[in-house]
Amino acid sequence: MRTRSIPIWFRVNETEADYLNEIVKRSGCNREVLLRAMIEGYQLCEKPDPEFYKVMRDMRNIGNNLNQLAAKAHALGFIDAPKFEEEAKKWDQFQLSIREYFLAPKKVTHKIPTKEK
């Protein structure tokens, strides 16, 4: 059963449609995801350029290599395991913060104008 059972249809003019299509293209999301996010008060980020994904892939590979080296060094007894685990956690947090900064939708608050007396 669908959790979203209420269809909403509305019309836009050509300028509005072009603007919406541009936002959809830049965000990398489809229209439904974009409009739902906006209704919930989020402002989606633009989809990063391909270089961003290359950097993330390279960082992930480096992190994996460090983890493999750490496991081997730990097995051989040549490394301070708690210290390395601490550094590995810092690395993981760094990756998460990069993703959050570049990819995560950001919550925006809408101020409703009030009449001044």
Per-residue pLDDT of 19-53, as tens digits, reads 999 999 988 889 999 999 888 988 878 888 887 88
pLDDT of residue 19: 92
Give me the residue label for tokens 């989606």: 44
Is there a contact between 102 and 28 (Cβ–Cβ < 8 Å)? Answer: no
Burial grade of 74 (CB within 10 A; 0-12, 13-18, 19 or more): middle
d(CA 84, CA 26): 39
Break the chain into its structural domains and give their ranges. Answer: 12-46, 48-104
pTM of the model: 0.50
Question: Does pLDDT of 89 surpass 60?
Answer: yes
Strands (E), the chain: 42-43, 106-107
Q: Name the DSSP letter for residue 100.
A: H
